[in-house]
């Protein structure tokens, strides 16, 4: 497996054979941790030339379906600690077909550029003319029309959010997929890097055609017929809205409630019935979970003129820009999603920041002098303007809000209702103790690290905190294997350990379920070690008071329980590595 290293400071690149890394660390997350360790000064300022970005794919790309995620690893400008973000689209397949297991981007360009990787060649293109175009969809279109490789490429780009260094800006790819969370877009922006295009045409020999075909067919069958991916195949992730609302777990109006009176209106069912206009898929995925709404909007002043925009929706966006902001109209919700999409912002962080600002304004911690516009739950127009301000940062308040809710509450107060965990804004679940322990100890502070929200729903009774922690870590360790294989987490029900071992075997690599599990543990430890070296301190984790005030599926949560869990986690998993 080859690694492409690009230095933006010197406009140079080199290609190295690093099969050693892939043999030991699989690919994706496992390999990215090692490359970051090798390439980066861990004390670097995340928005400086010294930050390093790693994109890594895995040995199943593109051999099998549903292994089309790319893992990005970098230092996060939002948390100042390890940043990791996964995206699908055509990213992974393009990188693998171009001949690489990973791409490393270092340094900083003197002027705006975008990079084109076409198989074994790298081109640096002048991006001065397109720098500052706020709409990431237009940036994508301009680059797509200028460059070759239609159908076999990925165009990973930033919009206004990344250019203006919003610390929760994302990198958008294939219009609707994102390296969200933790601010990769701002890292691109800080390097004067508008986009990374990868064009990949290539292939490798199948070692054993019969064996390979058998495993391939088995995976396809499991994906399409076993029910393991049914949820994503039907309503998509938006199916979560109503059940979570029903069990009092849908964060609403800055988590002052977990039941949203208008949940029905913005549910997956309602969106499918009234707005769903198209489905698309990531490369090599038969599920096509990307649900796209068609929204018809009249021109403001001319009758009988309409524009129709296509807007991708998912559960997390509905939570962050819907219930969390008290938005109960589908049209309003879709307009907000589109706004965030255009700028290339992380939807969850944006929604949580705005929800905090709304409550801070209500409580008089800030005034309209700061917010420039009246913010109130349910008012779409106010939020539309505020999102413009987050990107344009016309005053000190928005400069601060563009650094995340942790920073904003440091400056303006309201910590008790600033919903961030490990400085990363909260995902859309307030189910029980495991949910929040999961956010806190998850190495990305993401709900997907260990699925605490799902564990809470399965528990018959609440066990001692250490048992929860062990379960969450065990889940996270296995997910390190999946994200090293760059298998989509939505396909976790397909890629069980025995299937993964079989799939390896058909490609000519011997392994066992046991060995895979051990690798998961090892990668988890390596990642945690890297996090600690970057300054992570479990004692600094803040618990927002709000989560103990608002009832959820498990009723009122106990702070002592969560603190005990954190103590145990530190003792059992963190300290042995220090």
Partner 1 sequence: MPKRLVIKDIEKCVGCGLCMFACSRRHGEIGNDYSGILPVSLSGFERGATVIFCRACIEPPCAQVCPTNALTPKEGGGVVYREELCIGCKNCINACTIGAIFERRNGKPALCVHCGYCVNYCPHGVLGYEEVEA
Positions in the binding site for partner 1 (CB under 8 A): 62-63, 65, 90, 93, 96-97, 119, 137, 140-141, 144-145, 150-152, 174-176, 200-206, 209, 212-213, 216, 220, 224, 278-286, 288, 290, 292, 309-310
Residue closer to partner 1, measured from CB, 3 or 93: 93
Supply φ then ψ for residue 166, to 5 degrees.
-60, 125
Residue 373 tokens, joined: 């516009």
Report which of 237, 227, 224 is spatially closest to residue 285, judged by C-alpha positions.
224
Residue 316 tokens, joined: 């997390």
In the complex, the smallest distance separating the C-beta of residue 96 from partner 1, rounded to whole angstroms, is: 7
Residue closer to partner 1, measured from CB, 63 or 72: 63
In the complex, the smallest distance separating the C-beta of residue 189 from partner 1, rounded to whole angstroms, is: 22
Residue 53 tokens, joined: 């970005």
Counting Cα atoms < 13 Å in the Cβ hemisphere of 52 gives 22
Residue closer to partner 1, measured from CB, 135 or 551: 135
Residue closer to partner 1, measured from CB, 149 or 351: 149
Residue closer to partner 1, measured from CB, 40 or 103: 103
In the complex, the smallest distance separating the C-beta of residue 201 from partner 1, rounded to whole angstroms, is: 6
In the complex, the smallest distance separating the C-beta of residue 143 from partner 1, rounded to whole angstroms, is: 11
Which residues, other chains included, contact 560 with Cβ-Cβ below 8 Å and sequence gap of 6+?
none
Residue closer to partner 1, measured from CB, 310 or 373: 310
In the complex, the smallest distance separating the C-beta of residue 206 from partner 1, rounded to whole angstroms, is: 5
Question: In angstroms, rounded to a whole number, what is the distance separating the alpha carbons of residues 64 and 220?
Answer: 9
In the complex, the smallest distance separating the C-beta of residue 540 from partner 1, rounded to whole angstroms, is: 41
Q: Find out whether 351 and 324 touch, Cβ atoms under 8 Å.
A: yes
Q: Find out whether 117 and 133 touch, Cβ atoms under 8 Å.
A: no
Q: Find out whether 430 and 249 touch, Cβ atoms under 8 Å.
A: yes
In the complex, the smallest distance separating the C-beta of residue 293 from partner 1, rounded to whole angstroms, is: 11
Q: Find out whether 255 and 430 touch, Cβ atoms under 8 Å.
A: yes
In the complex, the smallest distance separating the C-beta of residue 567 from partner 1, rounded to whole angstroms, is: 47
Give me the DSSP letters along 409-449: HHHH--GGG--EETTEEP-S---SHHHHHHHHHSTT--HHH
Residue closer to partner 1, measured from CB, 174 or 456: 174
Calculate ∠ Cα 103-107-108, nearest 5°.
115
Element (H, E) at 4: strand 2-7
Residue closer to partner 1, measured from CB, 278 or 363: 278
In the complex, the smallest distance separating the C-beta of residue 291 from partner 1, rounded to whole angstroms, is: 11
In the complex, the smallest distance separating the C-beta of residue 31 from partner 1, rounded to whole angstroms, is: 19
Question: In angstroms, rounded to a whole number, what is the distance separating the alpha carbons of residues 525 and 530?
Answer: 9
Report which of 73, 205, 67, 194 is spatially closest to residue 136, judged by C-alpha positions.
194
Residue closer to partner 1, measured from CB, 76 or 91: 91
Give me the DSSP letters along 488-531: -GGGTTTS-HHHHHHHHHHTT----HHHHHHHHHHHHHHHHHHH
In the complex, the smallest distance separating the C-beta of residue 176 from partner 1, rounded to whole angstroms, is: 6
Question: In angstroms, rounded to a whole number, what is the distance separating the alpha carbons of residues 470 and 450?
Answer: 11
For residue 495, what are the CA distances in angstroms to 26, 355, 415?
Answer: 15, 37, 41
Residue closer to partner 1, measured from CB, 280 or 459: 280
Residue closer to partner 1, measured from CB, 280 or 543: 280
In the complex, the smallest distance separating the C-beta of residue 275 from partner 1, rounded to whole angstroms, is: 14
Residue closer to partner 1, measured from CB, 237 or 349: 237
Beta-strand pair 177-179/121-126: unpaired
**Burial of 539 (C-beta count, 10 Å sphere; 0-12/13-18/19+):** exposed
């Amino acid at each position: 497996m080859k690694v492409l290293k690009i230095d933006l400071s010197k406009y140079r690149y080199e290609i190295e054979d690093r099969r050693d890394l892939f043999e030991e660390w699989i690919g994706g997350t496992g390999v990215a941790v090692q490359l970051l360790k090798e390439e980066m000064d861990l004390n670097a300022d995340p928005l400086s030339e010294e930050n390093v970005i790693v994109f890594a794919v895995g040995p199943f790309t593109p051999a099998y379906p549903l292994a089309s995620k790319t893992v990005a690893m970098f230092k996060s400008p939002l948390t100042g600690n390890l940043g990791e973000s996964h995206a699908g689209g055509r990213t992974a397949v393009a990188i693998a077909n171009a001949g690489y297991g990973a791409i490393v981007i270092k340094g900083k360009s003197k002027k705006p550029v975008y990079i084109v990787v076409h198989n074994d060649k790298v081109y640096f293109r002048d991006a001065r003319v397109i720098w500052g175009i706020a709409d990431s969809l237009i940036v994508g279109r301009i680059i797509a029309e200028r460059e070759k490789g239609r159908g076999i490429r990925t165009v990973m780009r930033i919009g206004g959010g990344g250019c203006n260094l919003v610390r929760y800006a994302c990198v958008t790819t294939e219009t609707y997929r994102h390296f969200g969370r933790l601010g990769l877009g701002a890292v691109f922006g800080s390097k004067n890097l508008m986009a990374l295009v990868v064009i990949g045409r290539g292939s490798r020999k199948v070692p054993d055609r019969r064996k390979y075909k058998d495993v391939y067919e088995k995976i396809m069958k499991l994906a399409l017929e076993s029910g393991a991916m049914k949820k994503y195949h039907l309503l998509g992730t938006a199916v979560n809205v109503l059940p979570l609302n029903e069990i009092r777990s849908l964060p609403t109006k800055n988590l002052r409630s977990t039941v949203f009176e208008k949940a029905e209106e913005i549910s997956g069912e309602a969106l499918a019935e009234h707005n769903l206009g198209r489905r698309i898929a990531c490369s090599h995925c038969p599920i096509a979970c990307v649900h796209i709404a068609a929204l018809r909007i009249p021109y403001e002043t001319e009758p009988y003129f309409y524009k129709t925009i296509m807007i991708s929706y998912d559960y997390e966006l509905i939570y962050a820009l819907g219930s969390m902001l008290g938005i109960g109209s589908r049209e309003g919700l879709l307009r907000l999603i589109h706004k965030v999409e255009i700028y290339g912002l992380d939807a969850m962080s944006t929604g949580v920041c705005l929800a905090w600002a709304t409550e801070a304004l209500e409580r008089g911690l800030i005034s309209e002098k700061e917010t420039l516009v009246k913010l109130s739950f349910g008012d779409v127009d106010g939020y539309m303007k505020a999102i413009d301000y987050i990107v344009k940062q016309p005053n000190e308040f928005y400069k601060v809000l563009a650094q995340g809710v942790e920073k904003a509450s440091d400056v303006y107060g309201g910590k008790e209702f600033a919903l961030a965990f490990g400085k990363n804004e909260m995902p859309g679940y307030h189910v029980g103790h495991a949910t929040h322990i999961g956010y806190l100890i998850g190495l990305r502070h993401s709900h997907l690290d260990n699925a605490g929200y799902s564990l809470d729903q399965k528990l018959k009774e609440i066990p001692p905190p250490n048992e929860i922690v062990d379960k969450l870590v065990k889940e996270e360790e296995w997910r390190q294997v999946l994200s090293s294989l760059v298998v989509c987490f939505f396909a976790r029900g397909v890629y069980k350990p025995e299937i993964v071992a079989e799939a390896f075997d058909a490609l000519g690599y011997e392994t066992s379920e046991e060995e895979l599990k051990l690798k998961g543990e090892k990668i988890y430890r390596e990642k945690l070690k890297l996090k600690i070296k970057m300054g992570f301190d479990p004692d600094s984790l803040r618990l927002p008071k709000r989560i103990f005030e608002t009832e959820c599926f498990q009723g009122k949560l106990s702070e002592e329980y969560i603190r005990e869990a954190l103590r145990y986690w530190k003792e059992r998993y963190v300290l042995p590595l220090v």
